[in-house]
Each structure stands twice: as structure tokens, then as C-alpha cells.
Amino acid sequence: MTTNTPDRSRTRFPGISSRAYEHPADRSALVALRSLSGFDVVLRKLSGLLNERGFRLNYLSGSVRAGEDQFRHVHDMVRDACYILDLEQVPEVYVTQDPQPNAMALGSDKPFIVINTGLIDLLDEEELRAVVGHEVGHILSGHALYRSMMLILVQLGARVAWLPLGNIAISGIVIGLQEWFRKAELSCDRAGLLVGQDPDASKRVLMKLAGGVKLAEMSTEAFLEQAREYDAAGDVRDGILKFLSLINRSHPEAVVRFAEIDRWAREGEYQAILAGNYPRRDDDAGANVGDEVRNAARSYKESWERTADPFIGAVRGAADTAASAAGGLFDRFGNRRGDGNNGSGGGN
């Protein structure tokens, strides 16, 4: 893709690390994986089983590649998002005919973005910019590479389903990975806000995904009240039903994402990044796994303290104990390695 003069009307974040916007639960998992020597190399080899080249050829042959002469505004948004998040390699972007509003980042060696026409038709320019920033965030974080692990495990689960307890074991791992990816979606909603720098546009995206294009019929305050009502549920039975409904979902519910991005935009972290206070990629190698796991545990604990969900209240004590133990486990692992840097992680 060519490199025209990017839009400089928004704050740029030179050298920003994906850790700046990643949800603590997402960040701790990524730092832990990056700390495993050779893990990325092995996973890239495994991802070849999914025929990344074939995916790209399918979109090259059956979709429209955005550029100077096709979907120029989408091309410019992707380029500008990479400029703002300081991503050197601008990914290709394909627009595909599909009425379902969706976008995704695919690939590991040469990631690319796919945007459905249903999403382009649904969103205005600033809303679409937030979505593009969301997908660029996935690429900067390396989520596409790690998502390959889940796809491989799903395929493996299908092959070992005939074995006693085989598919159950794989399913348990996949459920854990899906929880991770739901947090990764919250991470990239934040990346989308950093790119668009318009909290209202980021929130409108989620309202439109839930209720369609007629914003005049919707209210941000009423939608936020829906989020509060969903969080509170009715009793423990509703809390269990909410938990079960999430098991096979890759994305959190729209009202949950709305409430999360609203809170993140208001509580200071977003403003600090805009002011230039954010971790740099050059420091990624020093990220400590134990610290990040404790940050994740603290984040979960804070969310449990905020929630009015009676089911979470019933299991909070056991969950707190498990989360607190995780940081100590990584500390012990790091001490056994004896490398003086407890689980240091590599860069993106």
C-alpha cells in the first residue's frame, strides 16, 4: 500500500506498546506467552496448517482490495490507524460483500484486515475509524497469531472426540481461550478509541451493532442503563444463565463492551495515554509475568467488586483465592529459571 501524508489531526503515539491498551487479563496472557522462548516460532509453524496463504487468496479473488482506486476512504483509515499506533507495516484491507456487520484481522506472517459491506453501510466515517483502529489493535497485539492456537485446538478436539475424555479436555482449554479472546476484544475496543479519539463514536458503534442504524431511536444513557440492568441480573439463576451463554461466544455482549469503553474513557487511563504517558515497545522485554498476572487478578477483583451480579457474589471468594495464587505461581516459576528476570517477555 502506498504511504500518502497521514492525517495528523489526532494525537500519535510513537513507539507505543500494545500493553498500553490491553485489558489486564489479555495482557498477562500475552506477556506469559511471549516469555516462552521459541513459542512464537512454533506457533507460526502450526498456523501454517490453517493455510494462511489460502485465506488471503480467497479474499484476493472474491473481494475488493482497498487502495488508491478502490474504497479509498477505508484505505486511508487503515493507513492513519497504523500511523497513530506506530505500526510500521500497513496491512492490506479487503472489503467483502456480506450483509452481516463484521470485521476481522487474519494472518500472522502478513496480517490483513477484512471488512464486510454490512459494517461499512451501517457506520459513519468516525465510527468506521474506531472499528479500523480495533482491527489494527488486534494486529499490534499479535492476537491473530495466538487465535491460531485456538483454531488448531478446535480441530484437534474434533479429531480426538472419540477418545474417552479427550474432547472434554480440549474443550476446557478452548473455553479458557475464549475467555481470553473476549478480554482481547475489550483491549481492541480501547485501541479503536486511541485511533479515533472520539469516545462517542466508539460507543455509537456498539449501539448500532445492537440496534441498527436508527440512532435517533436510541439513547446512550438508556443503553448504559441496559448495561447496568444486565450486570445486576435478577438472581443467581440469571447469573448462571449469563455465564452459560458466554461459553461459546468470542465477543462480550454489546452492552458489556459499551459499559467497559465508557468507563475506560472516563477513568483516567485513556487521558494519560493521550498525554504521552504509556509503555513503549522498547520496554516490552522487561515485562514481568508475575506482575501482569497480579494486575489481571486485581482487575478481575475490581470488576467483581463493581458488579451487582448475585452469581459473581456467590463465587467471589473462591475466585479471589484462585486469582491471588496465580501471581505466586509465576513468581516461583521465574525463580526456578534463575534468570534474574521473572518471565521476561519479548516484543510484538
Nearest CA among 218, 267, 170, 190 for reference residue 19: 190
Sheet containing strand 112-116, strands side by side: 64-65, 92-96, 112-116, 103-106
Question: Cell match 534474574: residue?
Answer: 340
Q: What is the DSSP string of 89-151?
A: SPPEEEEE--SS--EEEE-SSS-EEEEEHHHHHH--HHHHHHHHHHHHHHHHHTHHHHHHHHH
Question: Which helix (H) or strand (E) segment is 258 a member of?
Answer: helix 254-266
Question: Which helix (H) or strand (E) segment is 65 a member of?
Answer: strand 64-65
- Calculate the alpha carbon distances from 302 to 26, 32, 295, 305 in Å: 16, 22, 10, 5
Judge whether 135 counts as a catalytic residue.
Answer: yes
User: 3-state DSSP call for residue 250?
Assistant: coil
Instruction: State the DSSP code for 347.
Output: -
**Active-site choice (22, 52, 127, 135):** 135
Q: What is the DSSP string of 182-244?
A: HHHHHHHHHHHHHHH--HHHHHHHHHHHHH-S-GGG--HHHHHHHHHHHHH-SSHHHHHHHHH
**Cα distance between residue 93 and residue 85, in whole Å:** 17
**Cα distance between residue 300 and residue 201, in whole Å:** 27
Residue type, 298: R
Question: Cell match 431511536: residue?
Answer: 217
β-pairing verdict for 92-96 and 103-106: unpaired
Contact 94, 20 (CB under 8 A): no
Residues noted as catalytic? 135
